[in-house]
Structure 1
C-alpha cells in the first residue's frame, strides 16, 4: 500500500472538532472503537480463509482507529502515540498512518484558538504578535502549536491547550481507575491502582503550561553545555496556564528523519544524541523527559537534536537514581552485580522466592542490557522488545510478584520509548561506550545532588 491509497483516510482526519469531555461519551467512543476493531479482525480472518486481499480491511480499520483517537485527544490519543512506536506491530505504510497521532491530530478551528489566546493573554493574536499563522504546525494530544513572530523579530511557537482537555483527561483516568479497582479486588497481584494514580498525577500536570514553562527553562539549561543538543526557551510575557510561547526550533521530526532513509553516519549521530538527551538529565539532575515519542524530537539542518514538549517531566529521588546508575555502571564495565539487591535498593517490593526472583531478573537483565555488553551493537537487528514481551507472557505471575515503586512507571515510559526510537533508527556502533561516558561524566553532579538533598 502506498501513500496515495491513504489519501481518503488522511482527508477524513483533517476535520476540526473539539474533543468529547464526559466519562460516558469517551467510554462510548472507546467501546465503539473496540467493536469496530474486533469486527475488522473477523472480516480479515474470513478473507484470509477465502484467499481475498485483506489490505482494504486493514486500511479501513486502522484509519478509523487513528481518526477516533485523534478526535478524542487526551490520554486516549497518548495510547495511540505509544502504539505508533511499535516497530514490529504494523507494515511500514500503516505504521506511517498511525504515526500521524504523534503531531497531526485533527486540529480545532482557528477561530476557537484565537478566542483562547485572547481569553488567556488579554488580546487577540494579531495584536500580540507581529505575525501569527492560524494554520497549526502540529496538533497533539493536549494542544496544538502555531507559528508566530514577536515584534523584536524572534520566531516563536504558541502552544494552545484544547478546550476542556483537563476534564477529558480526568474522564479517561476515572474510567481507567474503575478497571484497575476491579482488577485489584480480584487479586492483589492485579492491583494497579498506584500506577494508574501515578499516570493520572503526572499526565494531569501537563495541562499546567506555567509549570511546563519552568520545565522547559530547566531543560534548556541542562542541555546547553552539550552543544549539539538543545531545547526551546519559554517567553513568559506571552504565556499563561493554557497558552505557552517558546522560541522556535526548525528541523524535521525524528519520525520524518527516519523516513528519509538517512545514511549510517547520520543514524549513529542521532542515536547517540538521543541517548544523551533522554538519559543525561536523569543521571545529572534526577529528572527525565517521559514522553519520548518521535514527534517530540527535531533534527536540525546543522546536525543538532532538539527536545520538545516538557509537559511530562518526572523528577526522582536521588537514591532511586543512584540505584539505577550503579546497575548501569556494572553492566558497561562488565562487573559483578546482584540484581535482586539492586531492585530492592531502588524500592521494588519482591514477593517471590529468592531463587525464582534471581532467575527472572537474570533473564530480564540479559534482554535489557544487550547493547551494553558488546562494543558493536546493531539496532537494526534488535529483538529486545519482542523478546521482553515473550518473557512477560511466559512468566507473567512471577513478574506480578515483583512490584516497582510507582515512580518507576514514568522511567519505564521514557526508557522504553527511547529504546523503540533507537530500534527505528537502526544504527550500528559502540553504544556501551556512549553510556559509559555518560555515566562517568554525570557522576560528580549526581553525588552533589544527593548531598544537597541529604
Structure 2
C-alpha cells in the first residue's frame, strides 16, 4: 500500500491543517456566541452542544498530533462542559480513527526489519488504543509474554511541527503586541517537549528511568521495555492488565476503592517529582491503569519532564513547610523556584499566598471531598479577576510542565470523586523526603 493511501493518517501540510482548524474554530465560535446570547436573555444554554462536540472529536481525531492533544486537555476540565459533552470529548483520550493494518505493518517492517508476523507470536490487527502520535496494538512475544506495541503514524512529525509553527506564529504576534503577555519562553518549552515525544527510543529510556522515581512506591507499576522490539517509531512494552482510569470510574467503584486510587494518583505525580526530580506531564485519565492486582499502572512516558535542581529543591522546602504548617517566606522561595516579580513585594506576597491557599485545600483539611472540588475553577477565577497583577509574577519556563501535571492531577481526582483524609496522603508524600 502506498504511504499516502491511508486516509486515516494525519493530513499533511501546514496550510491544510490550519484551514481545517480555522473552519472548526469558526463553527465553534458561532456556537459559543449563540450560547452566550441565549444566556443573556435568561435561557438555559450549554456552552457546547453534543453535536458540536462530535464535530470537534471528528476533526481533532483526524488531525491527530498537537490538535488532538489540545482536545484531550479540554476534555479533562469538568467546569467547561456538561457530563454528556465531556463523555463525547473523552473519546480523544485514547481513541482516534485508526490507521489501516497495512500501514502499521509497513512501519514495523521499516523500523524493525521484518513484518509483525515474523517478530511476534501474535499481533492483533485491530488497535487496542489510538492516540495523538501513534496507535497501540496488543501482541505476544515468542516466549509467551503479553506486550503492547505502539506504532507511530507516518508523517505525524511533520504534522506536529506544522501545528506548532502555526501556534508559534500566534504566540509571537500576541507577545509583540502585549509585552506582559509574552509567552514565547513557555511556548518554546512546550514545543521542545512535544517534539521530543516523537522519539520512541527516548520514551523507552524515560520509561526505564522512571522506575527510580517509583522505587519507594510499590503500589505503582511501570511497564518493562522490550528493547529488541523497540526503535525510533515503534515501542514495545509489557502489557499491564486492568482498566484505564476513564473506564474504571464508570464501573461505580466503592468509596474505599475511590480513595485508594486517588491516593495512588497523588503518589504517582508527587513521589517521582520530589524523589527523582521528574514528573509525568501528560496526566489524562487514559494514561493511568487500575490494575487487577490493585496497583496503579503508569502509561505513556513520552512526556516525562526532568526539572532543574533549583526548581525541585525550592518546591520541596515549600511543600514540607506547608504540610508542617511552618512559617513560610513565600516570596523568597518563589524566586528560588525561578519566578520573576515585577511589582511591590508586599502585593506579590499577598497574591502568591492566596493562590497557595486555593491549591493547598486538600493538604490542610483532614476530610476533603474531591467530588465537590473547585480548585481549578477557583484558581481560574482568581487569576482572571487579578490578571493585571498576576501577569507581573512570571513562573520559570519549566514550570509549564509542572502546572500541566498538577492541574491534570486535580482534574483526575475530581473525576474519581473520592472523599477522605487527603492531608494524611500528602503527609505520606512528605515522609518520603525525610
The residue that corresponds to 2:64 in the other structure is 73
Does residue 425 of structure 2 align to residue 437 of structure 1?
no
Rounded to whole Å, the distance in 2 between the matches of 1:65 and 1:234 is 34
Rounded to whole Å, the distance in 1 between the matches of 2:268 and 2:37 is 47
In structure 2, runs of 5+ residues without a counterpart are 1-5
The residue that corresponds to 1:448 in the other structure is none
CA RMSD in angstroms, aligned pairs only: 2.0
Change (3 A) 1:440 1:130: same
The residue that corresponds to 1:252 in the other structure is 243
Change (3 A) 1:46 1:327: closer
The partner residue of 1:130 within 100, 121, 127 is 121
Rounded to whole Å, the distance in 2 between the matches of 1:399 and 1:46 is 30
Rounded to whole Å, the distance in 2 between the matches of 1:358 and 1:45 is 36
Deviation at 1:442, TM superposition (A): 3.0
Given that 2:323 and 2:430 are in contact with CA atoms closer than 8 Å, whether structure 1 keeps it comes out as no
The residue that corresponds to 2:234 in the other structure is 243
What is the CA deviation profile of residues 262-299 of structure 1, one whole-angstrom value per residue up to 9, with x for unaligned ones? 11100000000001111111001101110010000000
Which has the higher mean CA deviation after the structures are superposed, 151-160 or 253-262? 253-262
Does residue 247 of structure 2 align to residue 290 of structure 1?
no
Rounded to whole Å, the distance in 2 between the matches of 1:328 and 1:52 is 45
Given that 2:358 and 2:378 are in contact with CA atoms closer than 8 Å, whether structure 1 keeps it comes out as yes
The residue that corresponds to 2:403 in the other structure is 412
- Aligned residue for 1:145, secondary structure, equals strand
The partner residue of 1:108 within 90, 95, 99 is 99
Change (3 A) 1:43 1:353: closer
Rounded to whole Å, the distance in 1 between the matches of 2:433 and 2:233 is 35
The residue that corresponds to 2:355 in the other structure is 364
Deviation at 1:41, TM superposition (A): 3.4
Rounded to whole Å, the distance in 2 between the matches of 1:210 and 1:41 is 42
TM-score (norm 2): 0.95
Rounded to whole Å, the distance in 1 between the matches of 2:45 and 2:419 is 35
Does residue 100 of structure 2 align to residue 145 of structure 1?
no
Q: Kindly tell me the number of residue pairs found equivalent between the two proteins.
A: 429
Of Structure 1 and Structure 2, the greater helix share is in: 1
State the 4+ residue runs in structure 1 displaced beyond 3 angstroms: 41-55
The partner residue of 2:332 within 341, 353, 358 is 341
The residue that corresponds to 2:213 in the other structure is 222
Given that 1:350 and 1:401 are in contact with CA atoms closer than 8 Å, whether structure 2 keeps it comes out as yes
Deviation at 1:227, TM superposition (A): 2.2
Rounded to whole Å, the distance in 2 between the matches of 1:154 and 1:439 is 37
Rounded to whole Å, the distance in 1 between the matches of 2:82 and 2:178 is 38
- Aligned residue for 2:401, secondary structure, equals helix
The partner residue of 1:207 within 198, 203, 210 is 198
Does residue 265 of structure 2 align to residue 274 of structure 1?
yes
The residue that corresponds to 1:164 in the other structure is 155
What is the CA deviation profile of residues 304-359 of structure 1, one whole-angstrom value per residue up to 9, with x for unaligned ones? 10000000011111221111111111111111112111110111111011121112
